[in-house]
Amino acid sequence: MVRQPSQATIAPARLAERAAETVAWRADGPCFTTNPRRKNFSLFNGRTHFTDDTVYTVCVADIIMNGKDYVDAFKDYFRRYPHAGYGKAFKSWAASDDRKSYGSWGNGSGMRVSPVAWAFNTKEEVLSEAEKSACVTHSHPEGIKGAKAIALAVFLARKGFSKGEIKKEVVKETGYDLEVGILDHWDVSCQACVPQALIAFFDSEGFEDAIRRAIFRGGDSDTIAAMTGSIAQAYYGIPKEIMAEVFSRLPEDLAAITEEFTKKYVDSSFIRPEPIDHSWRSVFKWLIR
């Protein structure tokens, strides 16, 4: 069965972010880096903004689309957006002249990898490029595995595989336990966060539901939601009103790269949504949802 998503783009990272505390594809929902432990939060509000998940999802898209060097681009994007909410280790590396990986096992490799799944057309190519994108900073085996898991799930989702088939392939490739409970502590590792992101997607009934479930599961909510959102976008598509909200919160350079990448690799007929009216009426509409 081949699904026809309602709206395709790499924006999910931004959306997921916002729901978790940014607006990129971490779960671009209501601004939570910590978990509200509920699903009925407002998806967008006046504090909604993008974070590092969005910045580096777009960065990877830019690298792939324009043939840029990963290290050079990662450091360039950090200089352009130095206050996007990076982890201490990444921030130290990005601000330095060091070009070697610092061996991270953190969830950053999974949060930014989704463009790989759209730009490459075989499982082997996707897994290879996912590892390449991870190893720049996340060369620990767990960091690489996390990137591969998310990239593979997005790739299979966009190819029309069922949830059961996606789950089987991801478990086969990574060995992740996808029956674990929700997180009850702060943990930014791939081994903790990637399974949570996958479970939220598998349990979901739609794009927005996937984002809400990702945030509800606890932990590093924005990044978990960014990863969940990336898979959910490929599987369900993104509602137009959510897409418009996300684009309205992006600076022009990030929005332009997102639009260009989407037209080239995802949907050649894609049209950037009209800006959202953020008057008090528009904000009130989201707050009462």
| Gap between the Cα atoms of 254 and 22, Å rounded | 14
- Which residues contact residue 222 at a Cβ distance below 8 angstroms, ignoring those fewer than 6 apart? 16, 17, 18, 19, 20, 21, 22, 26, 27, 32, 33, 51, 53
Q: Running along the chain, 289 residues long, what does each successive block of 10 average in pLDDT?
A: 49 45 34 56 80 96 98 98 94 97 97 98 98 98 98 98 98 96 88 97 97 90 94 96 92 96 96 76 50
Domain ranges of the chain: 12-287
Q: Are 70 and 109 in contact (CB under 8 A)?
A: no
Query: pTM here?
Result: 0.86
Q: Are 229 and 195 in contact (CB under 8 A)?
A: no
Q: What is the DSSP string of 21-33?
A: TSSSTTTBSSS-S
Packing angle, helices 123-135 and 141-158, rounded to 10: 140
- Which residues contact residue 172 at a Cβ distance below 8 angstroms, ignoring those fewer than 6 apart? none
Fold of 12-287: ADP-ribosylglycohydrolase fold (1.10.4080)
Q: What is the token pair recorded at 129?
A: 């490029």
Distance of CA 78 to the CA centre of its chain: 17
The predicted structure's pLDDT at residue 26: 35
The predicted structure's pLDDT at residue 101: 98
The predicted structure's pLDDT at residue 279: 59
